[in-house]
Amino acid sequence: VPRAVKRDGNPAQSDGIEEEELLALIVKENYNDNNNCKNKLEEYCNGLEKANKKPEEVHEKLKDLCGSGNQETKCKSLKDKIQDKCTKFKPILQAVLGSLNDKECAEKGRQCLFLEGADPTNLKDNCNTLRNKCYQNKRDEVAEEVLLRALGDGSLQEKNKCEPKLKTVCQELSGESDELALSCSKSSDTCTSLIGIAEERCKALKKVESTVKKEMCPSLLEQCHFYKENCKSPNEPNCTLVEEKCNEQGVTFVPPDQPFIPTHHPTTLAQKIGLSALYKRAAQDGVHIASPPDRDLLDLLALLKQSASGSNNIKDTCEKTLKNNCNTLKNHPTLKKLCNGTEASADGNYVCIALKNKLDSLPQDIKSRLGLRDEKEISLWHELSDSLTEEECTRMLSQCYYYGVHDKSKLETPCKNLRAACYKRGLSSVANEALEDRLRGLFYNATGDKANVLLAKLVEECKGLGENGSIDNDELLSRCLQPDSSRFLLLRDLHYKTFILQRHLDEKRDFPGEEDCEDLERRCEALGKDFDTVHNPCHSLKHHCVRLRQVGELEALLLIKTNGSLKSNDECLKETTKQCTRRGRTGRHMLPFACVDPNVTCKLMTDNVESKCHFLEENIKKSGIVKTIESKQDIDGKEEDCDFWEPYCDAYMSHCDHLVNGVSGGAGSGNGECAKLKKECQDYRKQRGLEDRFTVLLAGTLKNKTKCGHVYLGLCSKLNNTGHGLTGLCNDSSKIPGLCTKFMGRVQKKCVGLSGKLNKEKDTLKQESKTYEQLRQEAENAIVGASLVLAKASTVGTPNSTLNTIDNSSGSTNNSAQSANTAGNSAANNSSVQSLTKRSAAQVKITAQEVQAFEKASDALTLYDELKEKCKELQSDCLFREECSTCKSSCEAIDKICYGLKPLSVKEQTVRIITQNVTIKENVTITETRTETTEAASCSLTCSAPTICTTVRTTDTWVTHTSTHTSTSTQTSTITSTVTFTSTRRCKPTKCTTEGGGDEEGHVKPSGGVRISGSSVMKSVVLTILVWMLM
């Protein structure tokens, strides 16, 4: 968009402004009366004197103004000089009105600023016309630029391409401004004009492609992005060359719709063309553009403007226009209701009457709002009010834009005053903002001496702006040249801004959105320095904005760390309470506002995730990315798309079922957009996994392609014929250079922004490691104080819990125990997550001290695991510190922190098995006998335990032979024990059985036990010592 020409508005140096012009601005029409002129100049000097400032500090040409008697001398010679200036300027101004460009608007506008007030009779009308035309030109240029960008896909190469595309883009853009609505209603004329403009832009772009300077790059890259597709030979510019030259100078272009985030609202056409940036740029030139109200009637108004016939009766014109166009309007979304067949409907007639009433009341509305004495009289620039709101300007300008052509006698002059006032309001807004930003804190109670301090500071800041060449705004120049009166204008503006801020805070402070927080917090920060009245509502806003940001952090945490916790409010509450409780207990409560009310937090998070899932699904469909990936036969061709889209699906699939199964699909159907996308990326992801593993092996060599190739070959020679999964990347040595190039490109891409990320993570890790160390010390002290015995969960209840075998004999071993120990320790060491189990037993009373110690230990281990996991991730990034040279210092600091982490010292229970050799001497006597025995058994029925039997026997024995044998034997016993925390054991005697099967007396039948004959029985002595130790 062509910008207003930046002038060298430096009042402290040579800026082309002459002394009589400065004096004309100060005294205005009083230059013609010596007394009035003198009084005005004395008043001006008195204001500067109060602030202890000299006139030359305002502008060097005023150096002698405030000397004794100088005001009168100046006034005597001023009359002829100003009259001469005005006389010469009048024909020049008249001549340029027919064809204005940006340079003439800037130069002649400044002349009008100085001279219009001195000679209103000759200059007022034409200066007003100049500003009206310059203002409207800027608005038309913006609309033109919007359509050039919207049709920047090659549609402006031919008219038959332009018109259908214009109708499509106008469906979204016609409501963005009055000028766009009118252009859209005249598609044929608009296309003819745009094709010619596009051709001129291409020619201009081609001329400068070979002489690209750094300061030109932002503009040239922007033009290439939006215009190049409409350029054709011989006017086709070499935009690739422009991009290369600008990249060499460190300048790149980021399209307005980037970065694209799939979980946000689908990109609109307005975002693609950078509409908001265009409007902000225009606002810096004093032209505020916004969507007009009553958009349902916008197309009708545009149609009426085309049909203007000079008739002053808009009602008749409206009814006639409807009648002539009802056949066309029957398919229009909003205007079809205004027609009934080929005639205007009752609604149509009503709308036409309403339009007439609005037109009749508009002149009076403008007069009252601008405070005009006579709506038929053109107002001077300095008399125009600049207190109109943006909404008022938008509304009334829109009415003037459409209604003005239907009744020029009533509306031409009021609407010219309105446009000038809105232009002044826009310029004043920019000027006020520039000065207020530099004077924050000085407006508070700015009376008496404080008012003079403010005035002095205002003069100093204006001097600084002038020295920097930053005064390119007529209203800013006016305020700097008239500091005393400007002080009151600034105070009034700030009071109004404070009033508006309070109104917006009342509407939004309790439940602000992200954009609300960004805007309102900025305004609170600025205005809070001077106005106490906003402190309380701004504090409340800050509280809710902090909560909103913390809710976002908690949401991101739950998306990654949990599975489906944001699917429903109940699951969310459960997980949120868990996270908040643990963080509060460990003293790491970084999300206090999010945790203060889990119900509100979960409502915000689940609603937000549901919205993001909806947008993700919609963006996948709208982009057609699944079909795009499916159509790519080459796995490497899928890399960019899969790497971009899959992480979003991975994050949200478990929280949104429709991403997996579709809206109407049942569980497991796999018809969701993310499920389909991941299916198409499956082969790439498998291959990428292998390549990433190989890339890690090549870390440190990926700065040099030759070195990478040598190391690659060396790795392959080791992997070949091993059956390793990575051997597939070694099958064809001719592919190694290409793979090295690919891996190097990926690592360089990873390096971009890695330094900033690691610096930030390093600081966070450092702080959290300090928190952990403090927590670890507290936990260990609590464990000792409570005499608490804790066991790692991986060892509890297993028979091989950290066993130590002690052998008291020489040369005796226990292989089974050793192998069990090895297996148990290996399992414990391979456990990636540590947790604790508290030993308990029946009827054991637990003290509060033990509970506290257990919780502290649990929290310390949880934080330790989190830090180790974070270290693992960061050290994975640091594998490529040689390739990413800017990351070395951060990686060294991260290594130091991570290797310095000490685990919680938990004393585990230890089972010691003592194996002893016992030597037993036995005397065995064998007696040969012949025995005759009569045996009868009786069982008592009174015992409470299982039946106990008593035997009565009669034996007759004859000894036939006796021999004695003495032997010595050694027996080795080993017992492996397990720990039983709580157990109840019962011993049950063997029940007697009889041949009869009943309880009556009878002969005893052996119960299946071992029968040992002899008078002496071998006894086994086993000594088992179970020692629990706290190691």
Helices 346-370 and 314-329, axial angle in degrees (round to 10): 130
In this prediction, residues 667-692 reach a mean pLDDT of 89
- Residue where a domain stops, chosen among 407, 427, 447: 427
- Dihedrals phi, psi of 836, to nearest 5 degrees: -120, 145
The set of residues, in sequence order, having a beta carbon less than 8 Å from that of 493 and lying 6+ positions away, is: 428, 432, 436
Residue 546 shares a structural domain with residue 609: yes
Average pLDDT, the chain: 81
- Return the ∠ at Cα 432 (arms to 430 and 438), rounded to 5°: 110
User: Are 957 and 949 contacting, i.e. CB atoms less than 8 angstroms apart?
Assistant: no
Q: Is residue 994 part of a domain?
A: no
What does the pLDDT read at residue 962?
A: 53
Return the amino acid letter for 319: E
The set of residues, in sequence order, having a beta carbon less than 8 Å from that of 312 and lying 6+ positions away, is: 406, 407, 409, 410
User: Are 451 and 487 contacting, i.e. CB atoms less than 8 angstroms apart?
Assistant: yes
Q: Is the pLDDT of residue 671 over 70?
A: yes
- Strand 1027-1030 relative to strand 343-344, pairing: unpaired
Kindly indicate the confidence band of residue 905, based on its pLDDT and cuts at 50, 70 and 90: confident
| Range in 588-597, 620-629, 942-951 with the lowest mean pLDDT | 942-951
Kindly indicate the confidence band of residue 800, based on its pLDDT and cuts at 50, 70 and 90: very low
493-524 burial, b at 16+ Cβ within 10 Å, e below that, comes to bbeebbeebbebbeebbeebeeebbeebbebb
- Three-state SS sequence of 112-148: HHHHCCCCHHHHHHHHHHHHHHHHHHHHHHHHHHHHH
Q: Is residue 244 part of a domain?
A: no
Residue 664 shares a structural domain with residue 599: no
Residue 339 shares a structural domain with residue 396: yes
Q: What is the chain's Cα-based Rg?
A: 46
In this prediction, residues 389-408 reach a mean pLDDT of 88
What does the pLDDT read at residue 642?
A: 95
DSSP state of 994: B
In this prediction, residues 556-561 reach a mean pLDDT of 90
User: Are 413 and 132 contacting, i.e. CB atoms less than 8 angstroms apart?
Assistant: no
User: Are 12 and 60 contacting, i.e. CB atoms less than 8 angstroms apart?
Assistant: yes
Q: Is residue 583 part of a domain?
A: yes
Distance CA 541, CA 516 (A): 10
Residue 391 shares a structural domain with residue 325: yes
Tens of pLDDT, residues 456-481: 999 999 999 988 888 888 999 999 99
- Residue where a domain stops, chosen among 375, 401, 427: 427
The rounded percent of the chain whose pLDDT value lies above 70 is 78
What does the pLDDT read at residue 151?
A: 96
Q: Is the pLDDT of residue 928 over 50?
A: yes
Tens of pLDDT, residues 314-365: 888 888 888 888 887 777 777 788 888 888 888 888 888 888 888 888 888 8
Distance CA 549, CA 554 (A): 9
In this prediction, residues 191-213 reach a mean pLDDT of 90
DSSP state of 336: G
Q: Is the pLDDT of residue 62 over 50?
A: yes
Residue 488: closest CA among 458, 464, 515: 458
Tens of pLDDT, residues 277-305: 999 999 999 999 999 876 556 556 666 66
Residue 302 shares a structural domain with residue 418: yes
Strand pairing partners for 949? 939
What does the pLDDT read at residue 965?
A: 54
In this prediction, residues 1003-1022 reach a mean pLDDT of 33
| Range in 714-718, 908-912, 939-943 with the lowest mean pLDDT | 939-943
Residue 508: closest CA among 494, 518, 497, 496: 518
Q: Is the pLDDT of residue 1023 over 60?
A: no
Residue 609 shares a structural domain with residue 649: no
Tens of pLDDT, residues 85-124: 999 999 999 999 988 999 999 999 999 999 999 999 999 9
The set of residues, in sequence order, having a beta carbon less than 8 Å from that of 308 and lying 6+ positions away, is: 317, 405, 406
Most confident range, picked from 627-641, 784-798, 969-983: 627-641
The rounded percent of the chain whose pLDDT value lies above 90 is 51
| Range in 432-441, 519-528, 933-942, 961-970 with the lowest mean pLDDT | 933-942
User: Are 873 and 765 contacting, i.e. CB atoms less than 8 angstroms apart?
Assistant: no
- pTM of the predicted structure, to 2 decimals: 0.77
Q: Is residue 590 part of a domain?
A: yes
User: Are 369 and 388 contacting, i.e. CB atoms less than 8 angstroms apart?
Assistant: yes
- Residue where a domain stops, chosen among 384, 410, 427: 427
Q: Is the pLDDT of residue 948 over 80?
A: no
Distance CA 257, CA 274 (A): 7
Kindly indicate the confidence band of residue 832, based on its pLDDT and cuts at 50, 70 and 90: very low
Distance CA 137, CA 101 (A): 9
Residue 522 shares a structural domain with residue 600: yes
Q: Is residue 708 part of a domain?
A: no
The set of residues, in sequence order, having a beta carbon less than 8 Å from that of 547 and lying 6+ positions away, is: 593, 594, 596, 601
Tens of pLDDT, residues 866-884: 899 999 999 998 999 999 9
What does the pLDDT read at residue 805?
A: 34
Q: Is residue 392 part of a domain?
A: yes
Domain range for 530 is 509-615
Domain total for the chain? 4
- Strand 949-973 relative to strand 1027-1030, pairing: unpaired
Residue 588 shares a structural domain with residue 651: no
Helices 474-481 and 483-508, axial angle in degrees (round to 10): 120
Q: Is the pLDDT of residue 951 over 50?
A: no
Q: Is residue 399 part of a domain?
A: yes
Kindly indicate the confidence band of residue 589, based on its pLDDT and cuts at 50, 70 and 90: low
User: Are 875 and 895 contacting, i.e. CB atoms less than 8 angstroms apart?
Assistant: yes
Q: Is residue 698 part of a domain?
A: no
What does the pLDDT read at residue 1007?
A: 36
Residue 598 shares a structural domain with residue 654: no
Residue 328 shares a structural domain with residue 413: yes
Residue 303 shares a structural domain with residue 382: yes
Q: Is the pLDDT of residue 823 over 60?
A: no
Q: Is the pLDDT of residue 791 over 50?
A: yes
Residue 409 shares a structural domain with residue 358: yes
- Three-state SS sequence of 920-953: EEEEEEEEEEEEEEEEEEEECCCCCCCCCEEEEE
